[in-house]
Amino acid sequence: MIKNTDEMQQEILNADNIYDMLENNRESFSCEALSDYLKKLLEEKNIKPAEAVRRSGLDRSYGHQIISGRKAPSRDKLIALSFGMELSLDETNALLKASRNRTLYARDQRDAVIIYALANKLSIIETNQLLFDKSIEIIS
Mean pLDDT of 115-127: 97
* pLDDT 10s digits, 66-118: 999 999 999 999 999 999 999 999 999 999 998 999 999 999 999 999 999 99
Q: Whole-structure pTM over 0.75, yes or no?
A: yes
Angle between helices 75-84 and 89-98 (to 10 degrees): 140
Would you say residue 29 has pLDDT above 90?
Answer: no
Say how many residues make up the chain. 140
Q: What percent of the chain has pLDDT over 90?
A: 82
- For residue 87, count CB atoms less than 10 angstroms from its CB and return exposed for 0-12, middle for 13-18, buried for 19 or more: buried
Q: What's domain 34-133's architecture?
A: Orthogonal Bundle (1.10)
Q: Is residue 31 very low, low, confident or very high in pLDDT (cuts 50, 70, 90)? A: low
**CA 42 – CA 114 distance, rounded (Å):** 21
In angstroms, rounded to a whole number, what is the distance separating the alpha carbons of residues 102 and 92? 11
| CA 121 to chain centroid | 16
Query: What pLDDT score was predicted for residue 66?
Result: 96
- Range name among 25-34, 50-59, 126-135 with the lowest pLDDT average: 25-34
